[in-house]
Structure 1
């Protein structure tokens, strides 16, 4: 993106890997560096997208087919892009998002059927934007699943698919990092939050430089 725009940074990873905590800490860190960061999330990040979020993350695991999920996630992402991400970047603010299109590539495109081609086609047509930098938080799926379920957030539809699904997700994210080495950096999330935040800050500082 051109120099007058802010930076667009996404955090990705399996459920329970600490993305929300680290996204918040990264936004706070960027603000201490004299930048102005907008913290957001997917699905959600704009009023209409938040309405769609409730359809996606609550209820029976088999509530939607993978194809329907792809369309719902893309609709939420388009609203997010129009109302939150693009205006912030154009105003020179950095955007830190807890998930973006890579989650759809892995969750619906690779683990719930061989639908990656469909995901990429719809993304190219409807979204057409990638983050400047993607941080993939990698951790033991069994530990992450236990942590995710312990939250009892009511938004545990994907955790309810069980450990084999989380293991597939981890493999999918690691494969994605190899597919997009210019923008994806894998972060070891098997340690304490301070160590993870420090590692992320080092990567982002290098990117900004």
Structure 2
């Protein structure tokens, strides 16, 4: 199992290196929650596998020009559209979705040419959403959108503790049919076994799932 995890991490590190001009060992360590010493070993393993990684003392690692991963290519306009969508993801979703989108955006950047990547990074600094309404409450985890999506796709029953608008906490078994965004938040729509009817649950009021 450890070998599989390391292979996944090596692939992720390679994608991370492809997404920027230069990356410090400390940045890699922080992103993947590993030690700097482990970063050194992983980079060495990638180099031994034939990946042309260069380094500058006190600066960081970089992929030598001309080396590209072979996944599906995006053009600059497509990548820019996804970046702008990412700004909405930052505001409209929870940490579970933001983490997945950030990972996807790194992969997109990794297959762009250097000049396109520079343009995308410039655009990223120039696009911002202002005056977005604040979340209804900060007292709940608000980290269940990914789990809800999986339940919808897998047609699984969700077991949750829900805090209603009348300050009541109840345990619900929900057969989810969809998630809708309106009135400043995401809402889970599904059949509630407790109430024997379709109900609307605000996702950021789920206490436990």
Q: Which has the higher helix share?
A: 1
Q: Which has the larger radius of gyration?
A: 2
For CA contacts below 8 A with separation 6 or more, give which structure has more relative contact order: 1
TM, length-normalised to structure 1: 0.24
TM-score for both structures, normalised by structure 2: 0.24
Whose strand fraction is larger, Structure 1's or Structure 2's? 2
